[in-house]
Amino acid sequence: MAKIYYDSDADLGALKDKTIVFLGFGNQGAAQAQNLRASGIPNDKIIVANRDDHYAADAKSKGFNVEHDFAKAAEVADVLFLLVPDQVQPRIFNGQFSPKLKDSVTIVVASGYNVFYNLLHFKASQDVVMVAPRMIGSSVRTLYEKGKGFPCFISVEQNGSGNALTTTLALSRAIGATKAGAIASSVREETAMDLFAEQALWPNIIALFREAYSVLKEVGCSDEALVYEMWMSKEPAEIFEAAAEEGFIEQLKHHSTVSQYGQLSGALKIDGTAIRAHFKEILHNQVLNGKFQKEFSKIEADLEKEGDENPINQLYTKSAESELGQGEKRVRARLGLS
């Protein structure tokens, strides 16, 4: 059983007199910095390191001290939250932060990716920890403001100081992560689950919807009916909401008897052997062995490109060619939604 840490396990006193630097003031950075300050960490002990642009302006407008010179921010950091996109972290951290950081700094990642694949360079004396919210930044902030917590995975990956867990728990509490219980995890577990969901589970769900759309279209179902039936009614969103609240299987009891019988008996009839083998292949030979990371690193430089030269845009164009993509486009245009 994974250990779960609560506010009572964490002592904010462990952060006393520490200078805390947030590299990045985007989705997670803005939310976590504001939560941390609202938890009583003095504003003059918090620095937002950001290029001089609208993110920096946002941080300034919220009263934060902003440092555009990353070397200066690195030199004073006792704690460094790495909250820029995963694909840019190695370049910025290894190039601009790592050479200037204190030997005693605590480096905090919000995702396991770069640490699991050894893409960041640390000194053995430094603490490397993960505090990884399972929520988008806006929810991290609004749940904190409502006095609620949010699900979060935490771990100590390198305990240079010998006190890394104490610091991790204090930081987790300060951003509001131990209120609902922070789950002990690791960068391996977080990366495995995250990338598995992204590369195995959801691609299959997307493909199931795509193929289901075409099969139903073949028997005369209209685009309008299909788009509403399959997702625009928000029924799938409601089902997942109920699954989180009441249980993955238990929520089925809200459905009609015909539906319950169809779903339960249908799922049991599907032999999972092939899909399990497919999933294992992706998990072991794509995620855990680093194959995907190497593939992704080859296209990273192109992600800044505009239009058709950007590999993600190419994938969007290709995906839009499916019957589902075309049908949805027609329906949204007709309803004035695009």
Helix, strand or coil, per DSSP, at residue 290: coil
Overall size of the chain counted in residues: 338
List Cβ neighbours of 327 (8 Å cut-off, separation of 6 or more).
213, 217, 223, 226, 227
Q: Which stretch binds ligand NDP (CB under 6 A): 10-18, 132-140, 222-230, 288-296?
A: 132-140
Q: Does position 51 bind ligand NDP by CB under 6 A?
A: yes
Contacts of 138 (CB under 8 A, 6+ apart): 27, 31
Q: By CB under 6 A, tell whether 26 contacts ligand NDP.
A: yes
Does 61 sit near ligand NDP (CB under 6 A)?
no
Q: Which of 10, 15, 80, 110 binds ligand NDP (CB under 6 A)?
A: 110
Distance CA 70, CA 207 (A): 43
Question: Is residue 75 classed exposed, middle or buried when 0-12, 13-18 and 19+ CB atoms within 10 A define those classes?
Answer: middle
Contacting ligand NDP (CB under 6 A), which of 27, 39, 94, 186?
A: 27
Contact call for residue 132 and ligand NDP (CB under 6 A)? yes
The residue among 272, 267, 271, 270 whose CA lies nearest residue 255 is 267
Q: Provide, rounded to whole angstroms, the least separation between the CB of residue 228 and ligand NDP.
A: 28
User: Residue 111 interacts with ligand NDP (CB under 6 A)?
Assistant: yes
Render 304-327 in DSSP notation, one character per residue.
Answer: G--GGGSHHHHHHHHHTTSHHHHH
**83 part of the interface to ligand NDP, by CB under 6 A:** yes
191 binds ligand NDP (CB under 6 A): no
The Cα 105–Cα 260 span in angstroms is 54
Q: Does 28 bind ligand NDP (CB under 6 A)?
A: yes
Residue 50 binds ligand NDP (CB under 6 A): yes
- 29 scored as a contact of ligand NDP (CB under 6 A): yes
Using CB under 6 A, list all residues that contact ligand NDP: 24-29, 50-51, 53, 55, 83-86, 88, 92, 110-111, 132-133, 136-137
